[in-house]
Amino acid sequence: MPNIKLTIEYDGSAYSGWQRQADRDTVQEEIERALERVLKVSTTLYGAGRTDAGVHALGQVANFHCESTVPPEKFAPALQQHLRRDILIKSSREATESFHSRFDAIARKYIYRLSPTRSALENLRRWEAPKHAELSLERLNEVAGVFRGERDCSALCIPASVPDSAMCDIRESVWVQDNDEFQFTIIANRFLHSMVRAIVGFCVKYASGPSQGNGGGRSPLTLRDIEDILKAGKWTSDHLIVPPQGLYLDEVRYPEE
């Protein structure tokens, strides 16, 4: 049976996340409804990343199996006719029969956007945090480096969602500044529930504090504090889960790519 791979962009503002939920609008359900209209049969869509409510995607990947005369590349425009403007099927193509968007992925890339200034146009697409106006790019990258490498990430997962194995290989963790906006990029083989938002929270709490030796006193959260929290693997009062609207699933990578 043909296996169709979709690349999807969406604004998550109006949705309760990617994954289908009872009595909630989700991205998966919206696309599955469109599939049913095109294929005239109920079809299950498998997504690479289960983004939370309010989280966006620039490069979500999903796949579905079907028997259809529709050419693989034509599924994108066919589905788009039945979707709202906040979901875009960027491409569709045939994948191998065994391809699975979630289990075959070898890496995922997320971006988080943060600005200390307000905007009428951007407020649902980034975290606007005026109280963090004194953020230091240097300190953001000091703490971002703490998270790189292969480690148990239990401390970065919502307690009720911690899996049996919480090992993650974080390959990139870096901040850049673009005018008034700070952008965080993180790449890993997998991510746990709210993991990126927890990491951004630690970065902001550390970088918002006065730097050592500048006469401003001690930062409220040190690098050693964060390392100790990661080693302990427990949720603490130091955790800050930043808002979802600044988070984007940017890319999902596969072996053949």
Rounded Cα–Cα distance for residues 45 and 147 (Å): 32
Rounded Cα–Cα distance for residues 56 and 247 (Å): 6
Catalytic (active site) residue 238: no
CA 89 vs. chain centroid, Å, equals 18
74 φ, ψ (degrees, to nearest 5)? -90, -10
Tokens of 120: 């009428």
Rounded Cα–Cα distance for residues 95 and 65 (Å): 10
Q: In angstroms, how far is the first alpha carbon of the chain from the final one? A: 23
- HSE (side-chain half, CA atoms, 13 Å) at 99: 25
Point out the catalytic residue in the list 11, 23, 52, 250. Answer: 52
56 beta partners: 248
Active site residues: 52
